[in-house]
């Protein structure tokens, strides 16, 4: 069997992180029907400017 799907799932995991809510990160294994998994994470805060007309909430 080919393990092409593993690389596809890796990209999908990155998309899930980009869609995370503020201060909420839930790690689940896509290949195990959403089972919660242990995921060590290092977070850093980045300053950014809010442009006129955009809501930063």
Which is higher by pLDDT, 32 or 57?
Answer: 32
Domain layout of the chain by residue ranges: 1-57
Dist CA 30 CA 9 (whole Å): 7
Q: How many CB atoms sit inside 10 A of residue 27's CB?
A: 15
Tokens of 8: 């596809």
What would the pLDDT profile of 1-49 be if each residue is shown by its tens digit? 555 555 555 555 555 555 555 677 778 777 777 788 787 888 777 776 7
pTM recorded for the entire structure = 0.32
């Amino acid at each position: 069997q080919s393990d092409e799907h593993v690389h596809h799932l890796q990209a999908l995991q990155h998309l899930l992180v980009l869609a995370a809510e503020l201060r909420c990160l839930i790690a689940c294994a896509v290949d195990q029907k959403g089972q919660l998994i242990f995921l060590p994470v290092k977070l850093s805060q980045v300053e950014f400017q809010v442009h006129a007309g955009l809501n930063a909430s």
